[in-house]
């Protein structure tokens, strides 16, 4: 793979599909980057598990108020109308189906929509955390990820081998090489890098890609 999207470009592409006024939770780490790339004229309302709704961008360096953080312990700002609430109320919003979209990172995604985005290995986290609630509480669950691991193995697989975060929960994957929907227990290719053939993409994907009549070009600006 001589060419692929950067993390920022993947985040940009995912942001293009967030509707104006949507209530959105972004996973800790890489998914937080999605908030930077909201299209002009659209404004999502961001939710964080530790109890803030409608927070804004990170403050300039040196101007942080460390009483204002997101679930990833990163400094945030507040927008007009922002609200604070108890941790339990935050998860009540998640479990009650009040979030339109959750965007998460991943280790593996299976063609049936199973998600594995935590690990108990040497560098793993101690528990699955709030992701297990998000994947079944949000109305739509999307994943942003590099298409392969650092050693070149597919992250989009037939069946997950790592502990599951959720079963049959993912509906769309934004990767460094393609945009892929999960429909009927299959990976359906929607967009791919124009410089990459379907055969090349299939070779680094761990399950069969379903090819619709129209496959768009995955093009992202330099961001």
Respond yes or no: is residue 200 known to be catalytic: no
Q: CB–CB of 146/152 below 8 Å?
A: no
E-strand ranges in 105-164 read: 108-110, 115-116, 140-145, 156-157
**DSSP type of residue 53:** E
Out of 32, 49, 111, 191, pick the active-site residue: 49
Terminal CA-CA length for the chain: 21
Instruction: List the structure tokens of 209.
Output: 């890609």
Whether the Cβ atoms of residue 131 and residue 118 lie closer than 8 Å to each other: yes
Sign, Cα dihedral of 47, 53, 54, 59: negative
Catalytic sites, residue numbers: 49
């Amino acid at each position: 793979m001589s060419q692929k999207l950067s993390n920022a470009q993947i985040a940009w592409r995912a942001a293009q599909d967030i509707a104006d006024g949507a209530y959105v939770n972004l996973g800790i780490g890489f998914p937080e980057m999605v908030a930077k790339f909201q299209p002009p004229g659209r404004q999502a309302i961001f939710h964080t598990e530790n109890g803030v709704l409608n927070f804004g961008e990170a403050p300039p360096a040196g101007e942080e108020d460390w009483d204002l953080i997101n679930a990833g312990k990163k400094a945030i700002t507040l927008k007009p109308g922002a609200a604070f609430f108890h941790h339990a109320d935050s998860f009540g919003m998640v479990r009650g189906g009040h979030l339109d979209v959750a965007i998460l990172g991943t280790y593996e995604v299976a063609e049936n929509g199973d998600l594995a985005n935590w690990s108990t290995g040497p560098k793993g986290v101690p528990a699955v955390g709030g992701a297990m609630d998000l994947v079944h509480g949000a109305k739509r669950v999307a994943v942003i990820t590099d298409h392969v691991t650092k050693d070149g193995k597919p992250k989009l697989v037939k069946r997950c081998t790592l502990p599951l975060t959720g079963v049959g929960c993912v509906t769309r994957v934004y990767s460094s090489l393609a945009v892929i929907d999960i429909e009927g227990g299959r990976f359906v290719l929607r967009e791919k890098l124009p410089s990459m053939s379907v055969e090349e993409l299939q070779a680094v994907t761990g399950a069969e890609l379903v090819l619709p009549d129209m496959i768009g070009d995955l093009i992202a600006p330099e961001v």
